[in-house]
Chain A
């Protein structure tokens, strides 16, 4: 254990030292070996051409190795068999289309994509509007924001406890069933009721992401000019009208950003499903199906195919983001 702590510390030191050495060293080489003190104009411009790439090189190396290359490798692997050795054409894709688990996952993912971003954004917006009006709003926001810091697996334990079910006459120790029983209904095994159990899993992600939506939207709301709101009030608009006719249109671009950000997250989250049901009782989603085929099925072809489907789902948002970023750059 001591050795492990030492080796981690050592890595930090070596890593930081290597970075410093690289940047300082390349800078020195660039300054000394190419012209030195008697720098000619030609040398100076050559240096100016090289220097950005020296600054960028380590980052480009990591980005290419860990993100760019894998995208193409995964695309490639999706046309190969389980071990990645034999070309199998489109058979992984055909398998996916016919696989009931895959179909179930696509269906559930669509549900998640509709429910989680809408509820998280709506809750976040309503809370942001309310909290900005009250003196204890900041405390409220802090508390609602808190789940953002909790891991999906930790959140799953928290909610598993909320949904806990005791059979027979024993007292319910899960708060949901205790409430349901207190109101005179039968306690349920919530995570085992097909179709509806999906919503109990989604609630966990909504619980986590509402804080995110709230923080971003709250900042956007503060950006609405006070005169605009004042003018609306003078014209006799009430709170509800101001909310729908002034606030929402004003911050609509931000709502879109929040929506798409949560959408991407939804496509990637597998931990919640893994911990709560592991895809049983019709709750499978693509990210967990991919994980299952990679770790337990050890079928790289099929899991690559599923990963590719997730990637394709993300693609429109990616393109939209890039266009947004380019627009911003143009105006700068």
Chain B
């Protein structure tokens, strides 16, 4: 009995943790596909329920009137044909009376005319005298609004908020910055793992030390260097080339560390028998070690991809703020500042920026975990 109790508790506690950890992201995702008017007034957890909302519409003006049986009639639809499932509950023409009259009833306005509004938004405004109004009558109503899901928010951020362009920019930064360090690191890692030379252990210690150097230390000197050197080659100081090289440099310690540990764990006998057979280091590296190290290469590639894609610091310092260079993280930061209250824009924009890493993460989780276990000396 006591066993069952503790087992039940474990289930419940872990479930609570999982809910706590996923709920914020679920909220973001649900909100990003909600109608933006609904999103701004009700919580995302009520996204599936019908809500009562107060809104207003306007009847047609005098030029739409027709004569029927000696009366003048203006009729039409308060929703303008776009009811989207809305059902009017109550209506009225003044702020104080709009929740008094049930849909379907007829009210008499100040000028003696009669207005009927039906639940479906259709109205009929009847008067004995000809209408002269040029703007139509404002009608307030309380309507039951069914939930509405849409991709409009995504269309908006992709086009008018520049997220689409930044998506391309992020890929432009990430792909070269992921691939270039791998080769450079692989050769260095092999030398540190399998070649004998003076200073080897010092170099390994240096790499381990560099793993934790805060990027903050590198930014200003490199920025000054770029400002000084890039113009000499006729390039702008804030360029893609600059950030590719910077990410290469910043990613190398982890790459070398991971790959060296992995290569050093490869069986010694294979190496030695290959050496006996007269194979050079270069041949051993390209034909044996590199293919065997694929899991470690994949681990690092995922790491570097996620880290570069998610980076804001390096991109802010080494890339410009213009449309051609602003990456997703930078764009999102800008939107937080400029569109802080427009949750339909922030939620869909944020989701676009996290969907790529999430896909990479879930598809390649095995390699990612392996890399984490091998390289857990480094932070971030």
Enumerate chain A interface residues (CB-CB to B < 8 A). Answer: 1, 4-5, 7-8, 11-12, 15-16, 19-20, 23-24, 27, 31, 48-49, 51-53, 55-56, 58-60, 62-63, 65-71, 73-74, 77, 84, 123, 127, 130-131, 133-134, 137, 140, 142-154, 156-162, 164, 170-175, 178, 207, 210-212, 215-216, 219, 239, 257-258, 261-265, 267-271, 274-275, 287, 290-291, 294-295, 300, 303-304, 306-308, 310-311, 314, 317-318, 321-322, 324-326, 329, 332
Contact = CB atoms under 8 A, between A and B. Distances in A.
A332 B263 CA distance: 13
B28 A207 contact: no
B138 interface: no
A59 B185 contact: yes
A59 B264 CA distance: 18
A48 B246 CA distance: 31
B187 A153 contact: no
15 contacts: A4-B169, A31-B280, A52-B196, A59-B256, A74-B217, A140-B18, A148-B361, A152-B312, A160-B336, A161-B28, A164-B343, A212-B372, A258-B376, A261-B376, A267-B214
Interface string B312-330: 1100110000001000010
Contact of A154 (B165, B313, B350): B350
A161 B13 contact: no
B24 interface: yes
Nearest to A276: B336
A149 B187 contact: no
Interface of B: 6-7, 10-11, 13-15, 17-18, 21-25, 27-28, 31, 39-45, 165, 168-169, 171-172, 175-176, 179-181, 183-185, 187-188, 190-192, 195-197, 200-201, 203-222, 224, 240-241, 244-246, 248-250, 252-253, 256, 264, 280-282, 285, 306, 309-313, 316-317, 324, 329, 332-333, 336, 343, 346-347, 349-350, 353-354, 357-358, 360-362, 365, 369, 372-373, 376-380
A161 B24 contact: yes
B249 A71 contact: no
Contact of B212 (A73, A156, A314): A314
Contacts of A300: 220, 224
A274 B332 CA distance: 12
Nearest to A332: B264
A51 B27 CA distance: 56
Contact of A127 (B14, B195, B249): B14
A7 B240 contact: yes
B11 A134 contact: yes
Given A287-B216, A291-B313, A310-B216, A171 B41 contact: yes
A211 to B, nearest CB: 8
Contacts of A8: 171-172, 175-176, 240
A322 B17 contact: no
B187 A55 contact: yes
A322 B208 contact: yes
A56 B332 contact: no
